Chain A
Amino acid sequence: EAAVTQSPRNKVTVTGGNVTLSCRQTNSHNYMYWYRQDTGHGLRLIHYSYGAGNLQIGDVPDGYKATRTTQEDFFLLLELASPSQTSLYFCASTGTGGAGEQYFGPGTRLTVL
């Protein structure tokens, strides 16, 4: 069974705060993704990666950085958090892409006050 874990599960910070969201997959997948989910919107792609050291820009990258340190670990960084970044964040991984299934983590709920 494919496994994607995220930490923390919940995070509260203040405007201007520094936040790092962590994602780990133990599926030996090459591709990893960070999404945000907001009410009334479908999931929106922030950043993604094809492998360790690779980083690709998604559709809503402003205010976010990401780093893929190993095949297993993908981090999302908010260096100056703003209230507009209050959201539910999901990490996902896939081995083949395309019709290959994406496996999602349980999500991190971030609140920026």
Chain B
Amino acid sequence: KTQVEQSPQSLVVRQGENCVLQCNYSVTPDNHLRWFKQDTGKGLVSLTVLVHENDKTSNGRYSATLDKDAKHSTLHITATLLDDTATYICVVGDRGSALGRLHFGAGTQLIVIP
């Protein structure tokens, strides 16, 4: 059973527009949530990590929120660039140690067009 659901599955935006990616999960316990960017055929690169209830983070044009009560996170990308074209993956860790497991969403494929 999929424990991390991402929406939309894919998204096309014009360069300069903003977009919002969603992540809903049922993982318990939910120690932390991380957003990764994956360029086509490449490895995953961490964008941000959220740990606490109602956490908000910002990393340049990327910002993220976490609502642990609702088990929901959003990733906002502001003023998109062509280089933002990638798959964005939401990952929930169930413990704060190496004994924990990471639960991966299937990703949202973002395409930024000129």
Contact = CB atoms under 8 A, between A and B. Distances in A.
Do the two chains belong together in a single complex? Answer: yes
A28 to B, nearest CB: 14
| Chain B binding surface, main DSSP class | loop
A42 B104 contact: yes
Interface stretch (A11-19, A66-74, A79-87, A93-101): A93-101
B43 A94 contact: no
Contacts of A106: 42-43
B106 A107 contact: no
Contacts of A50: 98
A43 interface: yes
Interface residues of B, number: 29
Interface in B81-99: 89, 91, 93, 95-99
Given A97-B97, A98-B95, A105-B43, 12 more contacts: A43-B44, A43-B89, A43-B102, A59-B101, A90-B44, A97-B99, A98-B93, A98-B98, A99-B32, A102-B46, A104-B44, A106-B42
Interface of A: 4, 30-31, 35, 40-45, 50, 59, 88, 90, 92, 94, 96-102, 104-107, 109
